[in-house]
């Protein structure tokens, strides 16, 4: 029980989109079991998933990765339940909440591929901009698989991000792919792709690669930003920012 509750806590913090969350605001998850909730939080802190400060708790890098994995499982399962089985979205979401704790990453990946193949976008659109999924390389367990990159496609950068909704019927309806310059301060983001790559190859060196989880630390009104990637803060000019396409990690 504590295990599932812990995962729910991580996911809930990620979903708030805030860096620091007050513990009291999470107590709904406990469903009356205050003891269990306290234990879960302590356990998360001990294992380095959460850190506590005066303002509340926040996710560590490790915790963020974990939370993002769970959020992805949730999104894929919910899509499957609504689109393939035709469940009501509300029920689907609740059931996805239960299943997300036990399902393996392999199953989720296969399910995701299945959904993608079953429901391709209109042919002419698909030809030009492929469905984007989170880079499977994020998961170390998949590191050895041959189709390491096969599931990861680029889409046509020249198109308006809004158009991607056609090709990304499921995940992207919640999480459209947008330029980094359009995100707000404090949001947690997955890098989807980098446009004009050859001009920005320094980004790879710093670890800003598709699939990487980044935090938007600071954004000035001219869209110059500071992001945190791999624990380091990186300042970017506006012209670089608009070339980085990201997906918001906290499905609303």
Partner 1 sequence: MRKAVLIGNPSVGKSLIFNQLTGLGVEVSNYPGTTVGLMSGIVKYGGAEFTISDLPGIYSISGKSEEERLVREYLVTDDSVLIVVVLDAKHLERNLYLLLQVAEFRKPLVIVLNMMDDARSAGKIIDGAALSAKFGVPVIETIATEGKNLEKIAEYVLGDDLPIPKIVPRYDHHIEAAAKSLQKYHNLSEAESLFALENVSLSTLSPEVMENAAVVSAEIEKRHMMSPEQIIGANRHNTAKSIAEEVTSIAPQKKRRDFDSLLTRSFPGIPILILTMIGILLVVFIVGGFLEDTIVGLMTTYISEPFHALGLDPLIDTVGGAVILALMSGLGIAFPYVFLFYIFISILEDTGYLTRAAFLADRGMHHIGLHGQGLIPLVLSFGCSVPAIMSTRFLPTRRERIIASVLVTMLPCSARTVVISGIVASFVGFGAAFSIYGIIFILVFVLGCILSKVTPGEQYGMILEMAQLRKPIPKYVFRKAWMRVREFLYIAMPLLLASSVVLGLLEHYGFVAMFESFIDPISNAVLGLPGFAFTSLLFGILRKEMAFETLAIMGGTADLGAILTGAQLYIFALVCVLFVPCISTIAVLMKEIGAKNAGLITLFTLTLGISVGAIFHGIFMIL
Q: Which of 56, 179, 211, 251 binds partner 1 (CB under 8 A)?
A: 211
Segment contacting partner 1 by CB under 8 A, of 7-15, 114-122, 159-167, 210-218: 210-218
CB of 92 to partner 1, least distance (A): 31
Nearer to partner 1, 94 or 230 (CB): 230
Q: Where are the beta strands (DSSP E) in 68-204?
A: 177-179, 188-194
The residue (of 74 and 129) whose beta carbon lies closer to partner 1 is 129
From residue 130, alpha-carbon distances to 151, 163, 215 in Å are: 10, 12, 25
> Counting contacts by CB under 8 A, is residue 173 touching partner 1?
no
What is the spatial distance between Cα 64 and Cα 45, in angstroms, rounded to a whole number? 13
**With respect to partner 1, which residue has the nearer C-beta, 10 or 78?**
10
Measured between alpha carbons, how far is 96 from 69 in angstroms, rounded to an integer?
13
* Residues 116-135 close enough to bind partner 1 by CB under 8 A: 130, 135
Alpha-carbon span 121 to 99, nearest angstrom: 27
- CB nearer partner 1, residue 47 or residue 104: 47
- Looking at the DSSP assignment, which residues form a beta bridge with residue 194? 244
Which phi and psi angles does 74 have, rounded to 5°? -60, -45
Nearer to partner 1, 93 or 145 (CB): 145
According to DSSP, residue 229 is labeled E
Identified binder of partner 1 from the candidate list 192, 240, 245, 246, rule CB under 8 A: 240
Q: With H, G, I as helix, E, B as strand and everything else as coil, classify residue 213.
A: strand
Of 95, 112, 94, the closest CA to residue 104 belongs to 112
Query: By CB under 8 A, is residue 20 in contact with partner 1?
Result: no
Query: Is residue 174 part of the contact set for partner 1 (CB under 8 A)?
Result: no
In a 3-state reduction of DSSP, which class is residue 144? coil
Residues engaged in binding partner 1 (CB under 8 A)? 47-48, 51, 53, 60, 62, 130, 135, 137, 140, 143-144, 146, 148-150, 152-154, 197, 199-207, 209-212, 217-218, 220-222, 224, 226, 229-241
């Amino acid at each position: 029980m504590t295990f599932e509750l812990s995962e729910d806590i991580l996911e809930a913090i990620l979903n708030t989109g805030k860096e620091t969350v007050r513990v009291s605001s999470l107590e709904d998850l406990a469903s009356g079991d205050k003891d269990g909730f306290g234990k879960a939080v302590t356990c998360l802190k001990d294992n380095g998933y959460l850190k506590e400060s005066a303002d509340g708790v926040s996710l560590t890098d490790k915790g963020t990765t974990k939370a993002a994995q769970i959020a992805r499982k949730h999104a894929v399962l919910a899509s499957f339940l609504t689109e393939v089985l035709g469940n009501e979205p509300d029920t689907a979401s609740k059931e996805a909440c239960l299943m997300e704790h036990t399902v393996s990453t392999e199953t989720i990946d296969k399910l995701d591929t299945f959904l993608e193949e079953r429901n391709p976008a209109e042919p002419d659109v698909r030809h030009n901009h492929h469905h984007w999924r989170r880079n499977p390389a994020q998961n170390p367990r998949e590191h050895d698989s041959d189709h390491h990159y096969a599931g990861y496609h680029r889409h046509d950068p020249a198109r308006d991000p809004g158009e991607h909704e056609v090709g990304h019927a499921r995940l992207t309806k919640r999480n459209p792919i947008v330029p980094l310059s359009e995100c707000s301060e404090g949001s947690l983001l997955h890098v989807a792709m980098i446009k004009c790559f050859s001009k920005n190859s320094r980004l790879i060196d710093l670890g800003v690669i598709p699939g990487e989880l980044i935090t938007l630390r600071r954004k000035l009104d001219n869209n110059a930003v500071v992001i945190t990637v791999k624990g380091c803060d990186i300042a970017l000019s506006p012209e670089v920012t608009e070339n980085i396409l990201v997906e918001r990690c906290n499905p609303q």
